[in-house]
Amino acid sequence: MSDKPKVRIERDTMGPMEVPADAYYGASTMRAVLNFPISDLRFPRPFIKALGLIKLGAAQVNQELGLLDAAIADAIVKAAREVADGELDGQFVVDIFQTGSGTSTNTNANEVIANRAGEHLGQALGSKAVHPNDHVNKGQSSNDVIPTAIHLAALIEIDERLVPGLQKLHAALAEKSTAFAEIVKTGRTHLQDATPVTLGQEFDGYAGQVERGLRRVAVAQDELAEVALGGTAVGSGVNTHPEFARRVCEKVSALAGVTIRETGSHFQAQSTLDGAVQASGCLRTVAISLLKIANDIRWLGSGPRAGLGELALPEVQPGSSIMPGKVNPVIPESVIQVCAQVIGNDATIAAGGQWGFFELNTMMPVVAYNLLQSISLLAAASANFADRCIADLEATSQGPSSVERGLMLATSLAPVVGYDKATAIAKEAAKSGRTIKEVALELTELTEEELTRVLDPMAMTKPSGG
């Protein structure tokens, strides 16, 4: 008895090919599997969903234009819906590191949908009752479908996951800004003591970063809304109906809940990945913002006795296998690692964007993978940061207790006694270990009442003078 897996013979333009008997993909996909045994990386679920939606919309439009038989179109629509819904994900077997146009994955989709559509018509796998090229791929090319799928998948993920994640983080930070509004502390510049701020003001800065991050994401969404569909092989639109792309974009927009529109310049849309590069740049900026926020919170919570200790971070897990009672800032650390990954992904995408030669960019699969990973990671990290760290942050007494000892209170003396005198007071306070107020009482003619007013740290957190 043979243990050899059961196979069937499928044919493409290069001849016969053995494929697993129960596979929906065909000969060309099998060739790609054998040609690219590179990694375990595959196109993620959002990309496969986008491909399915594009094929679905294309079949509907081709039927409406009288270019596709109604029964075949209906069968393709059913199969494409199954692809979009994730029912056939196991059939998408081609490595990310493949042909630079993503043709192998477009072919994979065409073959899977064709064979599954054939089943819906009562035909056997491999029958070609529905043809992957003549029917499923009608009016399309890998060269316009793959960049369109990149944009569509990214738009859906941004809309459904990243924007809600950032909104949740913004709300959590804004809530802490209000809660900490009256907690005065020492500001820091160059890692050295500076004039007082409130903890609420620091968190207002963090909330402001995320708010602007959402604006930057909106820029990315606008860039991604313009898609290449309709350009077919080189941007000229050969072998496609002039109304095809516009109509498919309208149908896919309705199905996906995000808006895509046919580009006004097909030759740029296929020969470059500028839109994806721009979108990734926006994501990189968001990552750098989150990196600053997570690092600040990690430092403000350092200690609890030998660090800054101005924040008490929620204790979510033991921090050491050897040091009893140690608790680490693990949630901010996870955010920091996500940010590093996104910055690295952006470097890969930037390199990929440079690989547009003449009428086609040939780094589409790796750009797609990295762009979608960046969106997914930022979405998950933002929501988790809000839920498992920011929401339960507490202020300690350490920040307020250090203010009176702060040497930069001398800043508010400068308008009263002059910069040089205020500097002398600050240096004497540092040398002697006394407070600015104690030294100023000795070295100036100001009364204690006047110094109390001038050195009020809360007053220093607001604009003054005139």
> What residues are annotated to the active site?
190, 320
The stretches of 135-198 forming alpha helices (DSSP H) are 142-157, 163-179
Q: In whole angstroms, how far apart are CA 109 and each of 29, 51, 56, 132, 395?
A: 9, 7, 11, 8, 54
**Kind of pairing, strands 15-20 and 7-12?**
antiparallel
CA atoms within 13 A on the CB side of 341: 17
> Which residues does residue 17 pair with via DSSP β-bridges, in sequence order?
10
Contact 332, 290 (CB under 8 A): no
Q: HEC profile for 262-316?
A: ECCCHHHHHHCCHHHHHHHHHHHHHHHHHHHHHHHHHHHCCCCCCCCCCEECCCC
| Residues 6 or more apart whose Cβ sits within 8 Å of residue 322 | none
Q: Which two tokens stand for residue 162?
A: 């990243």
Q: How far apart are CA 96 and CA 87, in angstroms?
A: 20
Q: Which two tokens stand for residue 96?
A: 């990310």
Q: Which two tokens stand for residue 40?
A: 């375990």
Query: Three-state SS for 8?
Result: strand
Q: In whole angstroms, how far apart are CA 275 and each of 105, 150, 250, 404?
A: 21, 10, 20, 52
Q: How far apart are CA 326 and CA 350, in angstroms?
A: 41
